[in-house]
Chain A
Amino acid sequence: MKLIRRQNADLWNWSPVDQLSTLREEINRLFDSPFGELTRRMELFNGWAPPLDLYEDKDNLVVKAELPGMKREEIEISVHDGTLTISGERKYEEKSQDAEPYRSERFFGRFHRTLALTKPVQPDKAKATYKDGILTVVLPKTEEAKPKQIQVNVS
Chain B
Amino acid sequence: MKRIALLGMPNTGKSTLFNRISGASARVGNWPGITVDLLSAKILLGGNIVELIDLPGIYDLHGFSEDEQVVRHFITSNPVNLLVVLLNSTQIDRQLSLLLQIKKLGFPIVLALNMTDEAKRAGITIDTEGLSQTLGLPVIQISAKYGDGLPKALAAATSVINQQETTTNPQSIGLMLKEEHDIEDEMHELIQHHVQIPTTLTDDVTDKIDRVLLHKWLGLPLFFAAMFLLFQFIFAVGAPIQDGLAWLLDLLRTELLNPLFTNTPAWLSGLMLDGIYNGVATVAAFVPIIILFFLVMSMVEDSGYLSRAAFLMDAIMAKMGLDGRSFVMMLMGFGCNVPAIMGTRIMRSRSMRLLTMLVIPLSLCSARMQVFIFMIAALFSPSKAPLILFSLYVMSFFTMFLTALLFQNQYKNTEPFILELPPYRFPTPRQIVLRGWHEVKHFLNRASKFIVLGVVLVWLLTNFPSNVAPASIDTYAGQIGVFFTPILDPIGINHELAIALIFGFVAKEIVVGALAVIYGLQGDALMAQMATQIDWVQALSFMLFTLIYTPCLSTIATIKNESKSTAFMWLSIAWSLGLAWIVSFIFYQSARLLGY
Asked if A and B bind, the verdict is: no
A residues near B (Cβ < 8 Å) are none
